[in-house]
Chain A
Amino acid sequence: MKNNPVFRVAAKILFAPIILFGLYVQFHGDFGPGGGFQAGVIIAAAFILHGLVFGLDQGRRLVSARVNLWVMAIGVLIYGGVGVVSLFQGGLFLDYNALTGSVVSGQHIGIILVELGVGVTVTSVMLALFHAFAGFVEDHS
């Protein structure tokens, strides 16, 4: 698909809007349908589209396997970190009210951070799965 101009142009045009939509789903999850899981999958889809059209090597240059592995762990650490911070603020583990001391702002901040952690992990895991499956075939054939 690398040499087909239609695929290349379409992928270039679609890449940014897909990520923008993913970010909308990520941060609008409090008010409408969506959240970290869906947003993570959508953002990963943008990178997978890029990898499908421009080849796996270009995709790996965009997000290297090493970086991706760290990002996977960082998402879980963001989630767990929110819990630990609320512990140090004097609350229970993952007690968002303790983050700021008020129910409304604490819950909003806590939920947004936690969903961010979910989104980051899901994005990088989906991308890693795609690179692992597609890359295994390419490397071993």
Chain B
Amino acid sequence: MTSIMIDMFLLGLLVFIAVMILRTGKLFAVIVMSGGYSLTSAAIFVNLDAVDVAFTEAAVGAGISTVLFLAAMSFLPAEEKAASKSDSTFSRTLIASIVCVVAGGLLVFAALDLPAFGDPNAPAHMHVAPRYLEESGTLLHIPNVVTTVLASYRGFDTLGETIVVFTAGLGVLMLLAGATRTRRPDAAQSTAQSTATSTARGKAKKGAAK
């Protein structure tokens, strides 16, 4: 009973934060409130006994991504650009709310078909999950089943995830840090020289064609 009440309170808080994020135009406030949103979700995960997920959500969602967003915010103006006042604002809002209500209603309708929370006969708990739960403690002597599933039973997936993180880091470095490299005077000079020579060559070629 208390668990349900805590859940209701946290869900209400999530909706409140989401509405506040929508209503404010200041990017700084939006970023800080998204951090609060992540922290509230982490609390919900704790209430659902998913401590590992909660830990990740608190560390990544509320911690690092807030800092990264703040660092990225300095690219942008502090205020959101005001929406252009046109005649279709009201009808656009109407269409958006209808779409939201219909999509949300469909999701709630679909959720009615889901098995109850923690139902041992749910399909997800019938396939390999019982084996993992039994083996992890007794056979492998690793009490945290999440870790055994993540690193051992599903080791290939985690290898893929690590490569995804690595690739994402490489991508950002190529986009952002690559731009800072040309800033060095000698490098900038050499590129300028190479472009100068290439244009000179191009001109020479053009001249030859003429």
Contact = CB atoms under 8 A, between A and B. Distances in A.
Interface in A107-130: 107-108, 110-111, 114-115, 117-118, 121-122, 124-126, 128-130
Nearest to A119: B162
Interface stretch (B31-39, B58-66, B91-99): B58-66
Interface in A34-90: 34-38, 41-42, 44-45, 48, 52, 65, 69, 72-73, 75-76, 79-80, 83
Contacts of A111: 142, 147-148, 151-152
Given A33-B146, A38-B59, A114-B158, A104 B173 contact: no
A55 to B, nearest CB: 14
A117 B68 CA distance: 23
A99 B197 CA distance: 57
Contacts, number: 148
B180 interface: yes
Nearest to B53: A33
A83 B168 CA distance: 22
A31 B143 contact: yes
Q: Which one of B59, B60, B140, B173 has the highest number of Cβ atoms from chain A below 10 Å of its Cβ?
A: B59
Interface of B: 51-52, 54-56, 59-60, 63-64, 67-68, 71-72, 74-75, 139-144, 146-148, 150-152, 155-156, 158-159, 161-163, 165-166, 168-170, 172-173, 175-177, 179-180, 183
Given A30-B143, A118-B161, A141-B74, 20 more contacts: A25-B55, A33-B55, A35-B147, A38-B52, A45-B63, A48-B64, A69-B173, A79-B158, A83-B159, A103-B140, A107-B152, A110-B151, A111-B152, A117-B162, A121-B162, A124-B169, A129-B172, A131-B177, A132-B173, A140-B179
